[in-house]
């Protein structure tokens, strides 16, 4: 793999409510996933569709206050089946001292 795009957001997804016995994947309170663009291993694919959309909101310059949240980059959401509750937090990364995203690496040549 030749990753060339410099990601400027990192996401923390934490289970804040739920028991392993209620989740097909066995997720439970305290489980945490950290990712940038790719789908985290062992994450529920049904819920990841919603998570990905929320991450895109942040990547495109939006924030969660438009959805009624108090924090710009934090939101609580249920899993697709309603058994588990997650907390998603967006963290800016790979920025210069002024908060501007760092440039991408050169694209790989064929």
pLDDT tens string 63-92: 999 999 999 999 999 999 999 999 999 999
pLDDT tens string 5-57: 888 999 999 999 999 999 999 999 999 999 998 889 989 999 999 999 999 99
- Asked if the model's pLDDT at residue 95 lies above 90, the reply is no
* Cut 0.85: pTM above it: yes
User: Would you kindly state where each structural domain of the chain is located, as residue ranges?
Assistant: 13-92
Tell me if 88 sits within 8 A of 75, measured CB to CB.
Answer: yes
Tell me if 74 sits within 8 A of 6, measured CB to CB.
Answer: no
């Amino acid at each position: 793999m030749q990753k060339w795009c410099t990601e400027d957001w990192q996401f923390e997804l934490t289970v804040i409510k739920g028991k392993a016995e209620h989740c097909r994947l066995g997720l439970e309170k305290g489980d945490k996933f950290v990712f940038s663009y790719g789908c985290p291993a062992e994450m529920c694919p049904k819920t990841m569709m919603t998570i990905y959309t929320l991450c895109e909101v942040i990547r495109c310059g939006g924030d969660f206050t438009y959805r009624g949240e108090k924090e710009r980059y934090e939101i609580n959401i249920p899993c697709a089946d309603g058994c588990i509750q997650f907390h998603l937090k967006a963290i800016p990364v790979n920025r210069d001292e002024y908060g501007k995203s760092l440039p991408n690496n050169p694209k790989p040549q064929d």
